[in-house]
Amino acid sequence: MPSRPRSTSIYVNNPTDILPLTVPKWDVAVSSAALKNNSRIFDTIREIVTTFCPDVTITDVDDLEITQLGGGLTNVLYLVKGHEGKGVVNCLVRVNGSEESDILVDRQIENRVSSCLSKMSLAPIYFGRFQNGRVEEFYTGSSPLSPSKMHPGDSQLSSPAECNSYCWRILESMSKMHLLEIPEGVAKTDGEATIWDQTDEWMRLAEEIYGKNG
């Protein structure tokens, strides 16, 4: 059973200090098997992970298993498996996508929020940030919930105690998150909701880039 990874580095839960390393770009359409031939990517990821997680021991180049994952919307994802004591630990390396994606994602806020939730144990451990991405804990054995697992049936709506779906647990968790006191400077907390302004800005950018009829 994989153990929960630890970190004693100065970078853990620290979105401000950035490790001065950049993971080279990789074509996500190319197979993960071909990735093994790209020593520049492997060597950089290996150095990043061992800096952020110094308790992960490496005595041989094969001690770290690096695999490209799918599912990233704007990021290239790498699963890194290593050893910590007698256990196996996993972490996820997120490499930011193209510069165009930064128009839609504020990387500064994204990292501050991820770090803040990590400190509160409400998100994967935030191991640290490098020039074009970050490293976080990987939840082994977890998968996205299907709509059927999230949505309760009609009979369950009137009796949450009998609910067999994850709906009520999701609602409870979301409620707790909305009650959190977010430290000043983590997000845009000027007292006004920004979701609609942000949505309008995304729509404006989409029309600007792709045209109104695109």
pLDDT in tens, the chain (214 residues): 444 555 568 999 999 999 999 998 876 666 666 666 678 888 899 899 888 887 665 545 466 788 888 766 678 889 888 766 656 678 899 998 766 666 677 889 899 999 999 998 888 999 999 999 999 998 887 776 777 666 666 655 565 555 556 777 788 888 888 888 888 888 765 566 677 887 888 788 778 877 755 5
**If you ran DSSP here, which 8-state letter would residue 131 be given?**
T
- Here the tokens at position 211 are 């045209």
Measuring CA to CA, which residue among 66, 73, 184 is closest to residue 135? Answer: 66
Q: Is 141 left (phi over 0), alpha (psi -120 to 50) or beta?
A: left
Closest Cα partner for 126 from 136, 116, 111, 117?
A: 136
Are the CB atoms for 2 and 42 separated by under 8 Å?
no
Angstrom distance (rounded) from CA 58 to CA 51: 12
Token pair, residue 18, equals 């950035």
Tokens of 98: 């193209």
